[in-house]
Amino acid sequence: MSGLLKLALKLLLGDRGKFLTLVIGITFAVFLMMLMTSMFFGIIQHSAANIINTGARIWVMDPDVQTPQNSIPMPDYVLDVVRSIPGVEYAVPLYVGAGLVRLDDGTYQAATVIGLDDATLFGRPALLAGRTLDIYRNNAFFVVSDANYAKLGSPKLGTTFEINDHRGIVAGIARVSIGSLFGLPTLYTTYGRATQDLPSTRYVMSFILAQPKSAADIPAIKRAVARLGYRALTDAEFTTRNDRFYEFQTAMGTNILIMTLISFIVGLSIAGETFYMFVLDNLERFGALKAIGARSSELVTMILYQSLVVSFLGFGFGMLLASALVAFGKLRIPNYAATITYQNILMALGMVLLISGISAYIGIRRILRIDPFVVFRS
Amino acid sequence: MILSVRGVSKWFGEAPARTDALRDISFNVDHNEMLYIVGPSGSGKTTLLSVISGILRPNAGTVLVEDKDIWRFDADSLADFRLHTLGFVSQDYHLFPRLTTLENIAVPLILRRVPWEEGLNKARQVLEIVELKDKAELTPNRLSGGEQQRVAIARAIVAEPDLLILDEPTASLDGDTGRRIVAFVRQQILNERRAIIVVTHDDRIYEYASRIIHMEDGRIIERPQSAP
């Protein structure tokens, strides 16, 4: 480390009270921003659970569909046409709908029902109990063991229930990588059974899941599907479309954005004011350095370094606290949807650098205007 | 000649409230000379030192150090001049309270990009010269006024400047300590390639001056003469 930076560090660490206040201020701001954004990303990620869990490369849907929860059924011929597109390796239908499960105690519980292609079971979940082929047994369903599992009375293998006045039997307990956001238990069955047992509109096919022969075929597939009057999206595009819907067409995104901005302003206020006070307290020292022969650029370097040290420490502690709380929350609260991703880490880092930049700018303006003569006269 | 001050004037504010701090000051300082500037409070001594030191721009006149007009320098060159040519000890010392004695002394070396440890080693040598070897790791608040003064002097000389400027070096010292420090500065610091300017009220240290000039109301009222 250069002597100049070491000197800056010693000046910073020498004032323990202000140093700790600065670090705590930024830690608090990072903690709040991380919690807000991780909650937001978690909610968004959980809202896209069906896309992520199914794992299909291309989703074909009605052009008005925004999210995997709200499909507009398509006629069966679309599946045949998609299968005939040259770049498509295979395509299967998917049913996503809701059923009403009657529990043993006579109460009803709504559930999401996903019907998988009978021939391939493409998009099936991993099983914790039971065998995959058992889904072909009469009235068989797989129940997803997630935060909403208990709402069905935590059924075991062989448990029977009623769904939309049809008999159902639990043939497997499944797990998925991302739980549903909407508080409904999830049942998997075959496409044939789902479309047969659940009352529906004239058309029943919610989505077509397609696999391209190669990534280069995707644009041609999208064009061919568009000519049919439907839309083909890659899983990433569909996830983005789903994200945009929740960000901009519901109040969720706006509210969390406001809360994130508030945490940013709180952090900026604490860090900016404390750093400015730190600079004011050290004006005489910086004036002395200027009088000894420090260039303005060197003083700016010192201030920026001090600001960055405080910011990175605050960022680290804030991250640690937020991660610990999110991890603890996930252990204790099954529905807790917060997720820390690279995006919100980078976002918090960007915010912290902005806070430190603004704080440093305020200090630098003051430092550059110091007149060593005034310092010495005082 | 190391320093030539020519027709320097400095005023604060604008007429009619203008205060003239320096009025047409001219004098020279030679190598190996210890020049005293004396005069009552408010006579403009510290203002003159600030102008010579490159921290207060005069309204008129020139300050030539080694034949270079320092007030024609840009900001960075002026900072370099202060760092490489000048050693300045102010009345209040302006030590860094969070740094140890050793680190305080090493600051000009650090600014000169001398590596940290090398700077501390050089500072340790200078600390021996000012007889504060056992105070190396103390912070300024644990030093007496005289010790702080010596640390400030050590800081000013550690980078071996050509021109050393001392503003009231004995103001907070008892008579013996003051004399000892000035005698020390004269014996240890002054040499063929260096000059020292001292602003003082303290007539007990006049005996160490090569020459004394008197100031009053921003003017030199006597031509430089040899010290008694």
Q: What is the reported pLDDT for A352?
A: 84
Contact A294 B114 (CB under 8 A): no
- For the residues of A326-360, what is the DSSP string, one character each? HHHHHHH-TT------HHHHHHHHHHHHHHHHHHH
pLDDT of residue B173 exceeding 80, the answer is no
| CA-based nearest distance B214→chain A, Å | 21
* pLDDT (tens digit per residue) in A83-98: 999 999 999 999 998 8
Percent of chain B's residues with pLDDT above 70 = 97
Select from B52, B57, B71, B90 the residue whose CB has the most chain A CBs within 10 Å, as the one to mutate to test that interface. B90
Taking contacts as CB-CB distances below 8 angstroms, the residues of chain B near A292 are: 82-83, 88, 107-108, 111, 155
- pLDDT score at A377: 63
Q: How far is CA A343 from CA A38, A349, B173, B211, in A?
A: 9, 10, 62, 71
Reported residue count of chain A is 378
pLDDT interval class at B40 (50, 70, 90): confident
Task: Give the nearest partner residue to A10 out of B103, B113, B167, using CB atoms.
Answer: B103
- Could you give the CA distance from residue A256 to residue A269 in angstroms, rounded to a whole number? 20
How large is the average pLDDT for residues B137-146? 89
Q: CA torsion A4→B64→B91→B21, rounded to 10°? A: -130
pLDDT of residue A258: 84
Q: Is A108 helix (H, G, I), strand (E, B) or coil?
A: strand
Q: Judge whether residue B225 has pLDDT over 70.
A: no
Q: What's the CA gap between A173 and A182, in Å, rounded?
A: 20
List, for chain A, all residue ranges whose pLDDT scores fall below the cut of 50. Answer: none
pTM value is 0.74
CA distances from B158 to A80, A358, B49, B66, B188 (A): 88, 37, 20, 20, 12
CB contacts, 8 Å: B75 with chain A: 295-296
Percent of chain B whose pLDDT exceeds 90: 38
Q: Mean pLDDT across the stretch B85-106?
A: 89
Q: How many CB pairs under 8 A join A and B?
A: 89
What's the pLDDT band for B10 if we cut at 50, 70, 90? very high
Cβ separation B83–A291 shorter than 8 A = no
Question: Helix H segments across chain A?
Answer: 3-14, 16-47, 49-54, 77-84, 191-197, 218-227, 235-248, 251-281, 283-292, 296-332, 342-368, 372-377
Helix or strand run (H / E) with residue B52: helix B45-52
**pLDDT for A287-330, tens place per residue?**
888 888 888 899 999 988 988 998 899 999 999 999 999 999 88
Calculate the average pLDDT of chain B. 87
Say how far apart CA A164 and CA A100 lie, in whole Å: 5
Least confident among A50-54, A126-130, B94-98, B186-190? B186-190
Residues found in chain B: 228
Given a cut of 60, whether residue B226 has pLDDT beyond it is no
pLDDT at A84: 94
Environment class of residue A119 by beta-carbon count within 10 Å: exposed (0-12), middle (13-18) or buried (19+)?
exposed
Sheet with B3-12, side-by-side order of all strands: B19-29, B3-12, B60-65, B68-69
